[in-house]
Structure 1
Amino acid sequence: MKPDFLIIGAMKSGTSTLAHYLRQHPEIYMPDGEVHFFYEEGKGRWQRGIQWYERQFEEALPDQIVGEKTPTYSYLPDTAQRIHDVLPEVKLIWIFRDPIDRAYSNYWHAVRSGIEPLGFAEAVQREGERDIWKGYVRRGQYAEQVGRYLDYFDREQMHFSLFEDLKTEPQAVLKELFQFLGVDPGYSNQLNQRARKNVTKIPRSTTFRYLTKSVVNEIPVLRSLAFRLDQRFNRRSEPGYPDMDDGVQRHLENHFQPYNEQLQEKTGLDLTAWA
Structure 2
Amino acid sequence: MNKRLDFMCVGVQKGATSTLHDILVQHPNLGLPNFKETHFFSDDKKYEKGLQYYFKNNFKKSDATFMGEIDPEYCYLPKTAIRIHKAFPNCKIIFILRNPVDRAYSQYLMTKRIGRETLGFIEAVYSENQRLNNYFSQLHYSYISRGFYTKQITRYYNLFGKENVGVFLFEDIIKNPSKIVKEISQFIGLPDYDYDYEIKSNVASEAKSTIIRDFIFKPNKLKKYVGKILPTKKIKDRIMYKLYNANLKDAKKEPLNIELKSKIYKEFYISEIDKLEALLGRDLSSWKN
How many residue pairs match? The answer is 249
After TM superposition, the score normalised by the length of structure 1 is 0.81
User: Which residue of 1 is the match for residue 150 of structure 2?
Assistant: 143
C-alpha separation between the residues in 1 aligned to 2:55 and 2:63? 14
> Are 1:61 and 2:63 matched, yes or no?
yes
User: Does structure 2 retain, via aligned residues, the 8 Å contact 1:100–1:253?
Assistant: yes
User: Does structure 1 retain, via aligned residues, the 8 Å contact 2:11–2:75?
Assistant: yes
C-alpha separation between the residues in 1 aligned to 2:83 and 2:66? 21
Q: Matched residues, percent identical?
A: 33
Indicate how the Cα distance of structure 1 residues 216 and 172 shifts in structure 2: closer, same or farther if over 3 A, else same. closer
C-alpha separation between the residues in 2 aligned to 1:236 and 1:126? 30
Report the AA paired with residue 256 of structure 2. Answer: M
User: Which residue of 1 is the match for residue 32 of structure 2?
Assistant: 30
Indicate how the Cα distance of structure 1 residues 238 and 116 shifts in structure 2: closer, same or farther if over 3 A, else same. closer
C-alpha separation between the residues in 1 aligned to 2:55 and 2:93? 18
- Structure 1: give runs of 5+ residues left out of the alignment: 204-208, 221-234
Report the AA paired with residue 202 of structure 2. Answer: N
> Are 1:262 and 2:269 matched, yes or no?
no
C-alpha separation between the residues in 1 aligned to 2:249 and 2:73? 29
C-alpha separation between the residues in 2 aligned to 1:60 and 1:27? 11
User: Which residue of 1 is the match for residue 169 of structure 2?
Assistant: 162
Report the AA paired with residue 28 of structure 1. Answer: L
C-alpha separation between the residues in 2 aligned to 1:183 and 1:138? 32
C-alpha separation between the residues in 2 aligned to 1:216 and 1:5? 33
User: Which residue of 1 is the match for residue 73 of structure 2?
Assistant: 72
> Are 1:274 and 2:287 matched, yes or no?
yes
Per-residue CA distance 1:31-81 (angstroms, 9 max, x = gap): 23211111226xx6212211111323462435x210011110001111111
User: Does structure 2 retain, via aligned residues, the 8 Å contact 1:10–1:74?
Assistant: yes
Indicate how the Cα distance of structure 1 residues 89 and 219 shifts in structure 2: closer, same or farther if over 3 A, else same. closer
Per the TM alignment, residue 15 of structure 1 is displaced from its structure 2 partner at its CA by 0.4
C-alpha separation between the residues in 2 aligned to 1:256 and 1:18? 26
User: Which residue of 2 is the match for residue 5 of structure 1?
Assistant: 7
Indicate how the Cα distance of structure 1 residues 127 and 87 shifts in structure 2: closer, same or farther if over 3 A, else same. same
C-alpha separation between the residues in 2 aligned to 1:58 and 1:97? 31
- Structure 2: give runs of 5+ residues left out of the alignment: 133-137, 223-247
Per the TM alignment, residue 184 of structure 1 is displaced from its structure 2 partner at its CA by 2.4
Secondary structure of the residue aligned to 1:20 is: helix
